[in-house]
Amino acid sequence: MRRILAATDFSPRSDRAIRRAGLLAAEFAAPLTILHVVDDDKPADFVAEETKSAESALDRLIRSTEELGDISCETKIAFGEPFEGIIAAARQASADLIVMGAHRKEILRDIFVGTTLERVIRAGACPVLMVNMEPSAPYRRGLAAVDLSEFSLHALRVAKELDFLGRASVTIFHAFSSMVRGTLATANMSERDLEEASAKASARASRQLTRFLKDIDLGELPYPRRIAEGPPVAAISKAVKDLGADFVVIGTRGRSGWSKLLLGSVADEVLREIDRDILAVPAFRDA
């Protein structure tokens, strides 16, 4: 990881993100840029006053945040829509990672527009780390959730390049649906037959995961594999708790037009439901 960009709106949620960004910058010896975006769709005197306040707030943030004490850190102010300013600043800085806090959810607005964080993920190309937890130490355990798609493969490769897979113990996790229970075809099956069918489905999912991972070189470190039957988000949530994971890696699918504005993908639900830090890797641009 060569350079990190952390965005702040000076809220407690952003403070957690800045502290985590500081820990990562120290761990990877990576320069850190701390960014605040000023909405410039206001009268000029309002923008000037907000810019002055933001400069003071950034200075106080640098001086008061212990995790920023021994790293190379600079501040930057951008203007415009927050998500556009963050994407542009990350591109200009050649950032490998954007770190952001978990933004406050506003249900009606989120349904039709999405939070700033979600819009950065959907419109940008840089991986985004959403910080939910209070940072206190480097990451120890992670869970990489895969659905055996090209997007998951891309997410694993990016996480490996960023060294998220090498600095912590990471479990590769796949949730599958066997359709064994609850269908007309199995309504008259005995419990023993259902269990045998479920076991076969599990074995098949395990083989599929093994084939999937052959397409990526994960290096020499052991990466435990885990599969579970059930709805993806519920299964991911349970696995995170069982493993004591402090971060989750997930890939997002390429979407355009109205589909960028509507919710419903597993990645959307993970961002909203899982209370761990989440490394969301946007789909590659050609997807």
Identify the CATH number of the domain in which residue 113 sits. Answer: 3.40.50.620
DSSP for 123-171? H--S-EEEE-SPP-SS--EEEEE--SSHHHHHHHHHHHHTTTTTSSEEE
Rounded distance between C-alpha atoms, residue 58 and residue 85, angstroms: 16
- Number of structural domains, the chain? 2
Residue 246 DSSP label? S
Query: 279 with 194, same domain?
Result: yes
Q: Where among 131, 164, 179 does a domain terminate?
A: 131
pLDDT in tens, 224-252: 999 998 889 999 999 999 999 999 999 98
Residue 67 DSSP label? G
Q: Is the dihedral of CA 250, 106, 50, 20 positive or negative?
A: negative
Rounded distance between C-alpha atoms, residue 152 and residue 150, angstroms: 5
The 3-state DSSP composition of the chain as helix, strand, coil percent (nearest 5) reads 45, 20, 35
Rounded distance between C-alpha atoms, residue 201 and residue 206, angstroms: 9
Q: Where among 112, 131, 150 does a domain terminate?
A: 131
Query: 150 with 281, same domain?
Result: yes
pLDDT category, 183, cuts 50, 70, 90?
low
Query: 233 with 92, same domain?
Result: no
- The residue among 179 and 250 whose pLDDT is bigger is 250
CA dihedral 90, 93, 95, 99 (to 10 degrees): -50
pLDDT in tens, 187-227: 667 778 778 878 888 899 999 998 988 877 776 667 899 99
| The pLDDT value given to residue 81 | 92
Q: Where among 83, 102, 131 does a domain terminate?
A: 131
How remote is the C-alpha of 12 from its chain's centroid? Answer: 19
Which token pair is 270?
């993970």
Range of the domain at 11: 1-131
pTM tops 0.85 = yes
Which token pair is 2?
């060569």
